[in-house]
């Protein structure tokens, strides 16, 4: 830069220097610099999130098939979907799946966090071990669960039979309706529990010790301390984690796609797996997009609550 | 006497804690152990209903791993995953550093709404957009190539990393920045030479999470790429190792174990970053 300025001056182009200086001053302004820095992110998110979202809405209102852009058909796709038994089953599945998985993750997560917060040895190793299911690629660890739930060689059944808990041959986990739902819920809890436990643990650590000491002086039992000190103070952290997990449990794809592909007889289909089956494998992009847009109300609700929560902070 | 009793009470309490933690640790780790053991078993043992499944009785073999290397494109999948993850993570990191600094530190009209917009995109699940994105990728002429993933992965990495980095940028004292500006440094120099070095833990965190999220991504990689040689490790293993016959469990588990190794290595190395990033991303946000 310095060289070019000197070159410009030597060439008698003093005005050029002034222009460069003015450019420098212009971009040093806080708002210009601020917009400049955020621009790449905004362009990316507009082109690859907002625009596709608009496209999804357009697809859902047209009879768009893979390779043949269709015509505008209004709400036909939605009407067809809502009249479809498989879709109704999917709605029910999604709520059952999310409801059970979230409840279990919350209860077990708080319990695990309380245990990890105690003064134990090997704290770091324990935390590392507990967090592992959340870090390993879900699709790959679900393959392990698939093998553990195998119809013939299931290690779960093998153990339960040897312990005398069930009689041979045991349930076909991924082939019987209620068992299949239980299996996908178990794997989702297994994968999501670390996230709950570690974040709640961080929340626990931020509670000042004095609160507990004061409660102890007042003669509160450990159970009372948990209900009247720990839990109320954990509420903000729990709210964020639960909201966050709601949207990502509701929109889950990997676990169901690998374990059951929505079966048996569609009893484990979630919105994402059904949208994949109809929109991609079936080629009906219009209906597929309409199905995945049913995730939107849940997303909107979570966004609304999260934002309200952040603003209140 | 009293102290002896209290020692005993404390020991009992510790024993109870460990007893309660054991099922959790077992639940978390058993699937990995089982996958590992399975990948070294002989087929005869694997498919013997009478054999104890928990350990290897008839000798460990590496045939399943040999199969992966000799008969499948496993190494190419791993290479694809590595290329996609490193490039997508790097691009996203640069974009997120700029955006995060802008949102955390600069005052201009609209900064609040931009922050909200980034936060909302952070919550948008990939499963909502994979169908239209598959068309966008087509139009860009990137379908069925790893570049489709390099282009689309930043859609979830940038919001996440921006949000994470904003928290770290806020911890840098304003005075340091102001001093640099008064001394005649430009705003860009201040960001690169003063603020960024002070936010290195945040950048490391965002890089680690970015790499992990890319490596683990499933639905885009499954949807946008169909040719075997262009698949990522996660999709290659889950989609291409399942063959017509039923005796594939050994190589399937071997593939799952090997494709997880890079993540495990990084994880063990940077455990504390993962823990702090996880809580920063979710709780501070």
The pLDDT of residue B18:
92
Please report the domains of chain A, with CATH numbers, ordered by start residue: 18-59 (no CATH), 76-312 (1.10.3720.10)
Q: Is the pLDDT of residue B62 over 70?
A: yes
User: Minimal CA–CA distance to A51: which of A41, A43, A40?
Assistant: A43
Interface test with A, best of B25, B31, B45 (most A CBs within 10 A): B31
- CB within 8 Å: A155 and B54: yes
One DSSP character per residue, A147-208 reads: HHT-TTT-HHHHHHHHTTSS-TT---TTTSHHHHHHHHHHHHHHHHHHHHHHHHHHHHHTS-
Tell me the pLDDT of chain A (313 aa) as tens digits: 444 555 544 444 555 678 888 888 888 888 899 999 999 999 999 999 999 999 999 999 998 887 777 789 989 999 999 999 999 999 999 999 999 999 999 999 999 999 999 888 888 899 999 999 999 999 999 999 999 999 889 999 999 999 999 887 889 999 999 999 999 999 999 999 999 999 999 899 888 888 888 888 888 888 888 899 899 999 988 998 999 999 999 999 999 999 999 989 999 999 999 999 999 999 999 999 999 999 999 999 999 998 888 777 6
Contact in structure between B231 and B240 (CB atoms under 8 Å): yes
- CB within 8 Å: A130 and B215: no
Q: Is the pLDDT of residue B6 over 60?
A: yes
Interface test with B, best of A47, A48, A235, A272 (most B CBs within 10 A): A48
Which residues of chain B lie closer than 8 angstroms to A293, CB-CB?
Answer: 128
Phi, psi (degrees; rounded to nearest 5) at A65: -115, 155
- What confidence tier does B245 reach under pLDDT thresholds 50, 70, 90? low
Domain residue spans of chain B: 2-64, 73-284
A264: preceding bond cis by omega (within 30 degrees): yes
User: Minimal CA–CA distance to B160: which of B194, B195, B125?
Assistant: B125
> Does A65 lie at the interface with B, CB-CB under 8 angstroms?
no
Which residues of chain A lie closer than 8 angstroms to B273, CB-CB?
Answer: none
A301: preceding bond cis by omega (within 30 degrees): no
Q: What is the mean pLDDT of residues B253-282?
A: 87
* Mean pLDDT score across all residues of chain B: 90
The pLDDT of residue A174:
93
The pLDDT of residue B246:
62
- CB within 8 Å: A120 and B18: yes
Contact in structure between B255 and B237 (CB atoms under 8 Å): yes
> Does A26 lie at the interface with B, CB-CB under 8 angstroms?
no
Question: B110-138 pLDDT, tens per residue?
Answer: 999 999 999 999 989 999 999 999 999 99
- CB within 8 Å: A55 and B101: no
> Does B204 lie at the interface with A, CB-CB under 8 angstroms?
no
- What confidence tier does B26 reach under pLDDT thresholds 50, 70, 90? very high
> Does B93 lie at the interface with A, CB-CB under 8 angstroms?
no
**Is the dihedral angle over the CA atoms A154, A156, B259, A49 positive or is it negative?**
positive
- CB within 8 Å: A280 and B152: no
- The CATH code of domain B73-284 reads 1.10.3720.10
User: Minimal CA–CA distance to A175: which of A50, A262, A114, A243?
Assistant: A262
Query: Residue B116 pairs with which residues in a beta bridge?
Result: none
Q: From A67, which residue of chain B is nearest by alpha-carbon distance?
A: B135
User: Minimal CA–CA distance to A293: which of B130, B156, B122, B223?
Assistant: B130
Burial profile A194-220: b = 16 or more Cβ within 10 angstroms, e = fewer: bbbbbbbbbbbeebeeeebeebeeeeb
> Does A163 lie at the interface with B, CB-CB under 8 angstroms?
no
Q: From B214, which residue of chain A is nearest by alpha-carbon distance?
A: A137
Q: How far is B1 from chain A (nearest CA, A)?
A: 23
Burial class of residue A1 in the structure, from the number of CB atoms within 10 Å of its CB (0-12 exposed, 13-18 middle, 19+ buried): exposed
Query: Residue A15 half-sphere exposure, CB side, CA atoms within 13 Å?
Result: 0
- What confidence tier does B283 reach under pLDDT thresholds 50, 70, 90? very low
Which residues of chain A lie closer than 8 angstroms to B188, CB-CB?
Answer: 33
| Radius of gyration, alpha carbons of chain A | 27
User: In A23-81, at which residue ranges do the beta strands (DSSP E only) sit?
Assistant: none
Of A5-14, B29-38, B190-199, least confident by mean pLDDT is A5-14
The pLDDT of residue A275:
96
Q: What is the mean pLDDT of residues B67-90?
A: 95
Q: Is the pLDDT of residue B285 over 50?
A: no
DSSP letter, residue A66: T
Q: Which two tokens stand for residue B227?
A: 């040719």
Question: B135-166 pLDDT, tens per residue?
Answer: 999 999 998 999 999 999 999 999 999 999 99
DSSP letter, residue A263: -
């Amino acid at each position: 830069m310095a060289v070019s300025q000197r070159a410009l001056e030597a060439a008698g182009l003093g005005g050029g220097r002034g222009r460069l200086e003015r450019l420098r001053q212009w971009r040093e302004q806080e708002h210009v610099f601020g917009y400049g820095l955020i621009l790449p992110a905004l362009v990316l998110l507009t082109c690859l999130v907002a625009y596709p979202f608009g496209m999804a809405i357009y697809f859902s209102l047209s009879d768009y098939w893979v390779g043949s852009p269709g015509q505008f058909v209004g709400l036909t796709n939605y009407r067809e979907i809502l009249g479809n038994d498989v879709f109704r089953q999917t709605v029910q599945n999604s709520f059952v799946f999310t409801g059970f998985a979230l409840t279990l993750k919350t209860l077990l997560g708080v319990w695990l966090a309380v245990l990890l917060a105690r003064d134990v040895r090997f704290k770091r190793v324990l935390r590392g071990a507990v967090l592992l299911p959340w870090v390993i690629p879900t699709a790959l660890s679900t393959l392990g669960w698939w093998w553990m739930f195998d119809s013939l060689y299931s290690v779960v059944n093998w153990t339960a039979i040897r312990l005398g808990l069930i009689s041979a041959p045991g349930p076909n986990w991924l082939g019987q309706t209620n068992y299949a739902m239980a299996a996908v819920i178990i794997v989702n809890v297994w994968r999501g529990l670390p996230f709950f436990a570690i974040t709640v643990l961080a929340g626990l650590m931020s509670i000042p010790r004095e609160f507990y000491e004061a409660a102890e002086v007042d003669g509160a039992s450990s159970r009372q301390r948990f209900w009247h000190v720990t839990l109320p103070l954990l509420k903000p952290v729990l709210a964020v984690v639960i909201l966050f997990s709601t949207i990502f449990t509701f929109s889950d794809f990997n676990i169901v796609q690998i374990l059951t592909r929505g079966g048996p007889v569609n009893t484990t289909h979630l919105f994402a797996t059904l949208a994949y089956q109809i929109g991609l494998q079936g080629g009906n992009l219009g209906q597929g997009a309409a199905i995945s847009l049913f995730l939107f109300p849940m997303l909107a609700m979570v966004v609304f609550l999260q934002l309200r929560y952040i603003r209140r902070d | 006497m009293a102290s002896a009793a209290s020692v005993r009470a404390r020991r009992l309490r510790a024993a109870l804690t460990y007893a309660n933690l054991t099922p959790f640790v077992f639940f978390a780790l058993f699937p990995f152990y089982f996958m590992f053991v399975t990948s070294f078993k002989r087929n005869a043992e694997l498919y013997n209903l009478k054999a104890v499944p928990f350990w290897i009785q008839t000798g460990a073999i590496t045939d399943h791993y040999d199969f992966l290397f000799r008969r499948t494109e496993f190494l190419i999948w791993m290479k694809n995953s590595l290329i996609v993850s490193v490039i997508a993570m790097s691009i996203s990191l640069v974009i997120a550093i700029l955006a995060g600094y802008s949102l955390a530190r600069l005052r201009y009209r609209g900064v609040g709404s931009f922050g909200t917009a980034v936060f909302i995109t952070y919550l948008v699940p990939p499963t909502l957009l994979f169908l239209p994105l598959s068309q966008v990728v087509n139009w860009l002429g990137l379908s069925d190539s790893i570049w489709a993933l390099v282009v689309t992965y930043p859609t979830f990495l940038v919001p996440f990393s921006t949000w994470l980095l904003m928290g770290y940028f806020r911890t840098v004292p304003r005075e340091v920045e102001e001093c640099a500006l008064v001394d005649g440094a430009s705003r860009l120099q201040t960001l690169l030479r003063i603020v960024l070095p002070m936010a290195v833990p945040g950048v490391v965190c965002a890089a680690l999470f970015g790499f992990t999220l890319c490596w683990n991504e499933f639905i885009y990689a499954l949807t946008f790429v169909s040719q075997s040689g262009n698949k990522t490790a996660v999709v290659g293993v889950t989609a291409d190792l399942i063959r017509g016959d039923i005796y594939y469990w050994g190589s399937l588990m071997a593939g799952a174990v090997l494709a997880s190794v890079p993540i495990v290595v990084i994880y063990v190395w940077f455990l504390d970053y993962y823990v702090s990033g996880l809580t920063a991303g979710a709780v501070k946000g």
